[in-house]
Amino acid sequence: MLKKLLLATLGVAILVGAITYAKLDQFAAMGDAAKSKVEPPTTVTAKRVDESQWEQSIPTAATVAAVQGVTVSAEVGGRVARIGFESGAAISAEDILVQLDTASEEAQLASAEAAAALAEADLKRVRALGKRDLASRDAVDSAEAQVKQTVAQVGNMHALIAKKTIRAPFSGRLGLRLVNLGQVLSEGDAIVSLHTLDPIYVDFSIPQQRIRSLKKGMEVRVTTDAAPGETFSSELIAVNPEVDTATRSVRVRSRIANPGETLHAGMFAKVEVILPDKQSVLPVVATAVLYAPFGDSVFVVDRQKGSKTGEPDLVLRQQFVRVGQTQGDFVDVVDGLKPGETVVTSGVFKLRTGMKVVIDNKLAPKAELSPHPSDS
């Protein structure tokens, strides 16, 4: 019995030893394979960094304003006898907008004209008598005064009738009609708005720190969501000499040609005042920068001699940088990069120093200095 137990124990020991030896041999082979395994290079997008010149501008919000704008109203009261315009129509200066009823005034005018004619006739008779010493000087003076008074009454009636003919004070675009035929207007009642839309003003405010940068004639670029993708070029024409004490900013005005009347008074717009001096920058695509609390960095692509093939390998090097202003899809690298270096432009969060890469820019996103994304 003891002999059988010893033989069984010996057999189990031999079996365990054989299995252990086989596994150790397998682990050794796996280790050798891991040492000889070469990690395939990662595909990245990259771009060469070159010096550039950036325009300097002052961006701000603006409001479109009409060169001339007024709400035409009744100067005197009366009943609307005729309306000579349609809502939204273009109109020229001195065109009749509204004609008020003038029947009463025309009757009074006829009476005044008759009185003036009678006064003229009386004056002639008195003067004739005066020449024969049959009328005193006082009678002649009284007749002359009567003529002047009646003529003044005629002029007053003409002026009153003219005020009841309401005309456009200048050429422009009319708004919505606010009166109806037969309506009785009082003095000051609104009739219609009138605006000159070509050219048109763009008003905006600039902080007082930038006042010295503003010069008459500077280019101002205007964009608005009313004309997506379109940029209007205007000219700075005036700077308000008074600074707003509440905002410490100064009002600025530019003038823009608006032949198609795309821009309307009251619109919100964005403007950029283009400064004359340009700045030398070293721009990289904004997605190339890895932002972190301990410092911003980019991954530079270096060429190193290959260990086996002899061909140069592309290897990454994390380089800490200091960034400055941004413009569009680019950011200016103030310190840390040199012109001519190549940096990875996307997916930097998954990279590390020493990683081998290959560059493929077929699917690289397009970067622009002045992107115009569509509103969603």
Q: What is the pLDDT of residue 252?
A: 94
Same domain, 209 and 244: yes
Same domain for 256 and 215?
yes
Q: How far apart are the first and last CA of the chain?
A: 89
When comparing pLDDT for 103 and 135, which is higher? 103
3-state SS assignment for residue 367: coil
pTM: 0.65
End-of-domain residue from the set 249, 274, 299: 274
Segment among 26-35, 201-210, 238-247 with least mean pLDDT = 26-35
Q: Are residues 294 and 331 in the same domain?
A: yes
Does residue 264 share a domain with residue 211?
A: yes
Q: Which of 180, 185, 254 is nearest to 216 (CA)?
A: 254
Any domain includes 239: yes
Whether 323 is covered by a domain: the verdict is: yes
Of the candidates 99, 91, 149, the one whose C-alpha atom is nearest the C-alpha of residue 120 is 149
The DSSP letter of residue 366 is: P
Element (H, E) at 124: helix 103-131
Alpha-carbon separation of residue 256 from 69, 221, 223, 235, 272 (angstroms): 16, 10, 12, 7, 13
Q: Answer whether residue 42 shows pLDDT above 90.
A: no
Confidence at residue 33, expressed as pLDDT on a 0 to 100 scale = 46
CATH number of domain containing 125: 1.10.287
CA distance linking residue 280 with residue 167, whole number of Å: 57
Q: How far is CA 9 from CA 6, 20, 363, in A?
A: 5, 17, 67
* Same domain, yes or no: 206 and 355: no
Answer yes or no: are the C-beta atoms of 316 and 344 closer than 8 Å: yes
In a domain, 17, yes or no: no
Say which DSSP state 360 is in: -
Domain final residue, candidates 141, 163, 185: 163
Domain identity same for 352 and 328: yes
Residue 91, in any domain of the structure: no
Written as six digits, the tokens of 235 are 């000219």
Q: What is the mean pLDDT of residues 177-200?
A: 90
Q: Looking at residue 286, what DSSP letter applies?
A: G
Establish whether the linkage from the previous residue to 199 is cis, with ω within 30° of 0: yes
* Confidence at residue 26, expressed as pLDDT on a 0 to 100 scale: 66
**Which is more confidently placed, 176 or 132?**
176
Which tokens go with 238?
Answer: 């005036």
CATH number of the domain within which 337 lies: 2.40.420.20
Q: Are residues 293 and 247 in the same domain?
A: no
Tokens coding 282: 């070293």
Residues 140 and 287 in one domain: no
Same domain, 301 and 268: no
Residue appearing with tokens 């200066």: 93
Phi first, then psi, for residue 341 (nearest 5°) are: -75, 155
Would the pLDDT of 140 be above 50? yes
Q: What is the CATH number of the domain that holds 251?
A: 2.40.30.170
User: Which residues, 6+ apart, have CB-to-CB distance to 165 below 8 Å?
Assistant: 96, 99, 100, 102
What is the reported pLDDT for 255? 93
Whether 351 is in a domain gets the answer yes
- pLDDT surpassing 80 at residue 24: no
Residue 324 CA to chain centroid, in angstroms?
Answer: 24
- Considering its fold, how many domains does the chain have in total? 3
Residue 145 is part of which domain span?
103-163
Q: Residues 14, 19, 25, 29: what is their CA dihedral angle, to the nearest 10 degrees?
A: 170
Which helix (H) or strand (E) segment holds residue 239: the answer is strand 232-243
| The last residue of a domain, from among 233, 249, 274 | 274
CA neighbor of 127 nearest in space, from 116, 115, 143, 114:
143
Residues 6+ apart with CB under 8 A from 312: 303, 304, 305, 306
Q: What is the dihedral of CA 124, 125, 128, 129, to 10 degrees?
A: -150
Would you say residue 131 has pLDDT above 60?
Answer: yes
In a domain, 244, yes or no: yes
Q: What's the whole-number average pLDDT of the chain? A: 83
Kindly state whether residues 233 and 209 are assigned to the same domain.
Answer: yes
Residue 138 counted as domain residue: yes
Q: Is residue 85 part of a domain?
A: no
Which of 349, 337, 332 is CA-nearest to residue 300? Answer: 337
Q: Residue 29 above 70 pLDDT?
A: no
